[in-house]
Amino acid sequence: MKSAVYSWRVASERKAALEAMARRQRRSVAELLDEAVSQWLDQQAENDDGEAVQQQLRHAASSTFGRITGGDPNRAQEASARVREKLLSRRKRAR
């Protein structure tokens, strides 16, 4: 049973739109507003849960950011030369 009352000011255009929608749906404005607020609160709860999951994922992934393990500290500087060598060796094998 609903017993709490909440009131606030709205623009007259919004009030008229709410009343028209309530009439079309054959419901009271209070029912319409209760449903709208309930849906909005559910959506906010889902967004909050989603954000918490995203924070956990970012935290778990952050330990690997910027790390490449391979044992060769000069790999980045030598990458283009190594690629050239591999391409040349493939061309030689293809002949």
Q: Which two tokens stand for residue 51?
A: 């954000």
Number of H helices and E strands in the chain, helices first, is 3, 0
Tell me the average pLDDT across 42-54: 78
- pTM of the entire predicted model: 0.49
pLDDT of residue 67: 65
Whose CA is closest to 9, among 23, 36, 18, 20? Answer: 18
Q: 17-39 burial, b for 16+ CB within 10 Å, e for fewer?
A: eeeeebeeeeeeeeeeeeeeeee
pLDDT tens readout for residues 52-85: 778 888 888 887 777 666 777 787 788 888 888 9
Backbone angles phi, psi at 71, to 5 degrees: 85, -5
pLDDT tens readout for residues 19-39: 999 999 999 999 999 999 999
